[in-house]
Structure 1
Amino acid sequence: MRSDFEVGRPGERIPLMASIGKPVAPAETNRKTALVIGAGTRACALARAASGVGFGCTEPEEPRHALARLDKTARLDLMLLDARGFEAAALLETGVAAGLLDHVRRMQARLVVITDLAGIDPLLAALDEGETAFLCEPEDADIAALLVLAATRATHRSGFCDSTGQSEKMRLEELSEEVRRLTATIERLTGRHRTASEGGSPDRFAGLRTTRTVPSMPVHFPASGAPARSTQSLDETAPSHAELRALVRARRMRDQFLPADLFGEPAWDMILDLMAARTAGQRVSVSSLCIAAAVPPTTALRWIRHLTDRGIFIRIDDPMDRRRVFIELSESAAEAVSAWALSVRKKGGLLAPGFH
């Protein structure tokens, strides 16, 4: 059956269906290989898209059969777990997650996990190892970009790099064009044509925050969860929970007067949210922080990992529930935010003296 659309390098047409449904032949052992673990239309679309960027990719495998399939697989460059719509806890209880990591280590493969907000906490807790990449409720362009970069990485790993002296700029242009073509491909495969109002709106997450933020009593707060009273003047005290929430609300109001896409970087919003949670004696899960960021979940997740790598955020695994991961500000980051707030308050900024 002929595919309706094809992608490949400029000047080269690769049918997306070329390697669907057949294993990589022995003569193709140097070809990049991928396996999609999932079910339904989206998993099939991922397999076809992976084929479109040069991976040898067979039909998707359902999670319950994935380990048996991997036991018979000698080599793999990319493993795509599409957990959207699956009960993440079931994957953990049946040992699928641990088994996947064993095979990833054995084959030195790249693991990519695609999930929704409901599954991000348990899957992050179970599969965040090494170079595992996570996409949370991704846009088609996010998936396309990841596949193109994974294909490039696998090519370098195999030692089959282009030695024609092609400039880095030209290569980046080719990758960008490949991402655009692959995005259109995935949209057609899945029948997804989102309108601007459907993608990334924080309103669809209304009510989830309180169910995913777990109270905790940090050692520097009394049992009431409120900061201890101080004899310091108001100008010298740390910002209160109410002050920080007022700042967050003020920042949210920007969207009422200016285009929302002008404020795509969520780092400061997440920092303020974590600082407010700290003053209230609360812990914030990864999914809750993604919601608070008011950007697409995959973008928020990427920033969470970046800020963790920078030492601004700290990841805390819940000792009582292995399916949950909390994010907190590091001590140095919290001190910096407090110092900023005091400076703003003294100089007549948004944190006005006397605010409660």
Structure 2
Amino acid sequence: MQADFLYEAAQDAAGCQLGVTVLADRAHVRGELRDDAEAAGFRILHSCSVEEYARGAISALGDLVLVDCADDTAEALALLARLDMRAGKAGAQLVVSTTMGTLDSVFGCFSFSAPQILVDPSRAERVIAIGRVLAHIPNLRLRELGEEDRLMLLRLTEQVGRMAERLEKLPSGQRAGGGAFRFESPATAWRGEGEDYLTQRRDNMRARLPDAAVIRGMIRHRQARARFFDADLFADPAWDILLDLSAARAEGRRVCVTSLCIAAGVPGTTALRWITQMVEAGLLIRVADPDDRRRAYIALADKTADAMARYFTEVLAGEPAKAGF
């Protein structure tokens, strides 16, 4: 069933209808993307497979690029990297859907355009992504919504509101610029294999991350609740992400985005949005692989690692058995 946005034609400030490029190897997905984009008011500029577009002459991307990339072939990844650079320079918005199996490769292709990356998305999730693009376009007029649309928008607004409230309660970091997908080199506080992260407390006492086994024990305690209660009751992806990265830092181990999405305990697309929000908030950083620039890892920012080290020092002092509850 085709999505019904009920929008007027999407137009720029000059009144010209906005254009979209649709790239998908899977024909049925390409058809859905094309139909949904047209329903949203976009004019289709290109609609073909990723391979066909890569072989063709360079042409205008339009204002929105919808990409479905289920295979991490060298040709597909090279095209994604080109699209990232071109979209970043031209200001086009990217929505990229992929699978959990190819997420690491696809994620590593983007450093300039801050795309929306969807993991094994449903059609509804792709429609919401297009809607997020529309929300940043001026001069749009929304016709009367049906009751089902009103309820969907209400639920979405409430979900985003809860996300923002949770992030505001976390230790704030200073954003150094470069957007959600900026690259950074490993920080000076990063230690080699088997070494702990150390930080100097204000009282001149040294706080450190505990042994990784302690943190992993806390993670197991959190996960055990799902055996007795509905896991949605305790969903807290931000905290699960911080715990997993803390354990990895104590182990001197790098964490890929796929592993972190799994650790978050929520659907892949939801986890990736949390990771993006936390990078934007300065809580996490994206670290380039020095041996392969096409790969990237996620790590705690130094201030976040400092806060986690002090947190563990406090909660484990005298009551280690209660940690994690």
Distance 1:105 1:336 in 2: 33
Counterpart of 2:265, as a letter, is A
1:116 lines up with 2:99 in the alignment: yes
Q: CA RMSD in A?
A: 3.5
| Superposition pairs of residues 153-192 of structure 1, within 5 angstroms | 153-154=136-137, 156=138, 160-162=139-141, 176=150
Selected match of 1:295 from 231, 247, 266: 266
Q: Offset at 1:97?
A: 2.5
In structure 2, the CA distance between the partners of 1:350 and 1:5, relative to structure 1 (3 Å rule), is same
Unpaired segments ≥5 residues, structure 1:
15-28, 181-215, 229-234
Distance 1:6 1:238 in 2: 48
**Structure-1-length-normalised TM-score:** 0.67
What SS is found at the alignment partner of 1:113? strand
Q: Offset at 1:330?
A: 1.6
Q: Offset at 1:347?
A: 4.7
What SS is found at the alignment partner of 2:95? strand
1:261 lines up with 2:232 in the alignment: yes
Q: Offset at 1:147?
A: 1.3
Distance 1:69 1:340 in 2: 54
Selected match of 1:77 from 63, 71, 76: 63
Equivalent residue, structure 2, for 1:90: 75
Distance 1:131 1:172 in 2: 32
Q: Offset at 1:298?
A: 0.7
Counterpart of 2:34, as a letter, is A
CA offset digits 1:56-115 (Å, max 9, x no partner) = 226731112214657344x6121011002x2243323xx423432354256432111111
How many residues of Structure 1 are paired with residues of Structure 2 in the alignment?
Answer: 277
Q: Offset at 1:179?
A: 6.9
Distance 2:298 2:5 in 1: 40
In structure 2, the CA distance between the partners of 1:69 and 1:221, relative to structure 1 (3 Å rule), is closer
Q: Offset at 1:246?
A: 0.5
In structure 2, the CA distance between the partners of 1:102 and 1:321, relative to structure 1 (3 Å rule), is closer
CA offset digits 1:231-284 (Å, max 9, x no partner) = xxxx97641111101000000011122211123330101101111111111111
Selected match of 2:285 from 288, 294, 314: 314
Q: Offset at 1:139?
A: 3.3
**Structure-2-length-normalised TM-score:** 0.73
**8 Å CA contact 1:32, 1:151 repeated in 2:** no
Distance 1:69 1:279 in 2: 48
Equivalent residue, structure 2, for 1:285: 256
Selected match of 1:7 from 4, 7, 25: 4
What SS is found at the alignment partner of 2:310? helix
Distance 1:347 1:301 in 2: 36
Equivalent residue, structure 1, for 2:157: none
Unpaired segments ≥5 residues, structure 2:
10-14, 155-185, 198-205
Distance 1:285 1:276 in 2: 14
What SS is found at the alignment partner of 1:112? strand
Q: Offset at 1:300?
A: 0.8
User: Bigger CA drift: 135-144 or 34-43?
Assistant: 135-144
In structure 2, the CA distance between the partners of 1:106 and 1:240, relative to structure 1 (3 Å rule), is closer
Distance 1:256 1:237 in 2: 32
Counterpart of 1:78, as a letter, is L
